Amino acid sequence: MIASPVIDLSTIPAAQRAAVQALLEEVAALKDITKRQEHLIAELIHALHGKRSEKLSEDERQLAFEDLSIALAEVEAEKEARAAKADTGKTKPAPKRTIGNLPAALPRIEEVIEPASLICPCGCGVMHRIGEDRSERLDIVPAQLRIVVTVRPKYACRTCTDGVTQAPAPSHLIMGGLPTEASIAHVLVSKYADHLPLYRQSQILARAGLDLHRAVLADWVGKAAFHLKPVVDRLAEHLKRSGKLFMDETTAPVLDPGRGTTKTGYLWALARDDRPWRSEDPPGVVYFYAPGRAGENAETFLAGFDGILQIDGYTGYNRLTKPSRKGGAPVRVAHCWAHARRKLKEVFDRDGSEIAAEGLRRIAEIYAVEADIRGNLPSYRLSARQARTAALVAAFGDWLQAQRRKISAKSRLGEKLTYIHNHWDGLQTFLTDGRVEIDNNRVENLIRPIALSRKNALFAGHDEGGIAWGRIASLIETCKINGIEPFAYLKATLTAIATGHPQNRLDDLLPWNFKPSR
């Protein structure tokens, strides 16, 4: 950077000295702003693509991105304010427009701003409208609370005494209760999609003048969970008819009143997402709660499923592959290459191991083929894997065994290589079936919302709370991966249940069959 010339103010006439001093201060300020901007951009790039970025969780990475973007916007605003101040009286550049990003379906409220006078300055009379300029801005109205008053008039004949006529009372999900089905849906979405615990929702409502204790909100959630159970059970039945599913589990801390602390429960995610090979089956996920991580829980949840199960390396799943499996024939497992890669990445990041680096390079070649064939039909994926990937996997297997003979099994790297070796058969399953993915990432992405709720709510209050958590989260997350707005779906579904939707037509209530009203 070229240094700014040093100016001796004493050589400048007194009348101009103040203006020059102000200009120098402005230049110095702009340099500081630019320097800060460059620093923030470098930090942003490092957070997204630097060596340490892989050590951050997705949530941590997004938080860093948000905070750095906020700081950059602040710098931009300061630069714009200084530029506007310096350009006083000059023609201002046209503002940035984002009209193209505003959805056409949103309601428009027009504010027409008329001139102070429509009389022609030359005295010709009233001016005529020849056109207009239009601009759009996004406005947000906070959640509006209102009371729905149901009035049922009574009618009687003045000439006879045959009785009184009145329309029957409409059915509600909570008969005699305060909430409409829309109110219940809002609480469910706020808790399980936006990760707002009930006590925080209660505080938000209190600011609007509505005193609803969280125990009242909990009553609404519990009743909704009960009525939605048949829909979730039906969703699980549909998923277990599939030929291939993903499964993963994550902790769900639950309060243990007897000990006054928390115990570790688990939410098991059973998911179908076959969009990478253009399946006509819609994606979906069901979360089952269990008080522990024992493999028998997975066996129970998977009763009736006999296809390929894509999983991580947790040994609790081993019982599913045995002839003694309860609830179905032994399943065939497909293990996750992302987990294998993660094991080597841990060693490389800690020790800079050349062996781990070589393993990562070989796995990257396998993933490169997957990137090329993503979105194609299973037959094409299978033929491409047999032609291009099979040799890479075989070479990786030979390399793996060669390294295991050189390295102590008790070393850090040796343990990671042993992990890959122990799951080698499952890591090759994707080579024999074009429907199988190379990794378990799709279900891991569906676990993330559970982790966010866990972070915000700290724990579930009871095992039963864990069951309700999994049940409602199943519908919300299935909505999200099918492009369905969860609030609209839950409102319509709860209303349908309240008005007596027949049990033999539960398929109509599944998220992927929801048709939003215009």
Higher pLDDT, 131 or 344: 344
pLDDT at 256 over 50: yes
Q: How confident is the model at residue 458 (pLDDT cuts 50, 70, 90)?
A: very low
Which amino acid is located at 315 in the chain? T
- pLDDT at res. 252: 78
Stretch 36-58: mean pLDDT? 66
Mean pLDDT, range 446-461, rounded to an integer: 60
- C-alpha to C-alpha distance for 147 and 290, rounded to whole angstroms: 39
> Is it the case that residue 97 has pLDDT exceeding 50?
no
Lowest mean pLDDT among 81-95, 154-168, 213-227, 395-409: 81-95
Backbone angles phi, psi at 445, to 5 degrees: -65, -30
Using DSSP's 3-state secondary structure scheme, residue 365 falls into helix
In this predicted structure, which of 45-59, 202-216, 223-237, 243-257 has the lowest mean pLDDT? 45-59
pLDDT per position as a tens digit, 165-205: 888 888 888 887 789 999 999 999 998 888 888 888 999 99
- Asked whether the predicted pLDDT for residue 10 surpasses 80, the reply is no
| First-residue to last-residue Cα distance in the chain | 59
C-alpha to C-alpha distance for 152 and 169, rounded to whole angstroms: 8
Mean pLDDT, the chain, integer: 84
Side-chain-side CA neighbours of residue 56 (13 Å): 16
Tens of pLDDT, residue by residue over 106-157, are: 788 888 888 888 888 887 888 888 888 888 877 777 778 888 898 989 888 8
**φ/ψ bin of 141: left (φ > 0), alpha (ψ from -120 to 50), beta (otherwise):** beta
| pLDDT tens, residue by residue, 268-278 | 999 999 999 99
Higher pLDDT, 88 or 179: 179
Determine contact, residues 308/331, Cβ cutoff 8 Å: yes
Judge whether 309 and 495 are in contact, CB under 8 Å.
no
Q: Any idea which of 25-29, 237-241, 265-269 has the lowest mean pLDDT?
A: 25-29
What CA–CA distances, in Å, run from 175 to 169, 181, 230, 232, 435?
Answer: 10, 11, 20, 23, 47
Strand order through the sheet with 284-290:
284-290, 261-272, 244-256, 308-310, 332-334
The per-residue pLDDT for 9 is 64
Residues 471-497, mean pLDDT to the nearest whole number:
95
Percent of the chain with pLDDT over 90: 46
* 269 contacts 446 by C-beta, under 8 angstroms: yes
At residue 406, the pLDDT reads 93
Q: Mean pLDDT across the stretch 60-76?
A: 62
Of 249, 339, 242, residue with least CA distance to 298: 249
In whole angstroms, give the CA distance from residue 366 to residue 392.
Answer: 7
Contacts of 75 by beta carbon, 8 Å cutoff, 6+ apart: 33, 36, 37, 40
Q: Evaluate if residue 279 carries a pLDDT over 90.
A: yes
3-class DSSP state for residue 332?
strand
How many angstroms separate the CA atoms of 386 and 434, rounded?
Answer: 10
* Residue 308 and residue 433 in contact, taking contact as beta carbons nearer than 8 Å: yes
3-state secondary structure 229-288: HHHHHHHHHHHHCCCEEEEEEEEEEEEECCCCEEEEEEEEEEEECCHHHCCCCCCEEEEE
pLDDT at 460 over 70: no
Average pLDDT over residues 328-348: 95
Rounded to an integer, the average pLDDT of 4-30 is 72
To the nearest 10°, report the CA torsion of 351, 355, 358, 359: -90
CB-CB contact of 192 with 469 (8 Å): yes
pTM of the complete model? 0.78
More confident residue, 35 or 324: 324
pLDDT at 100 over 50: no
Find the mean pLDDT for residues 500-516: 94
Separation of alpha carbons 247 and 305, rounded Å: 12
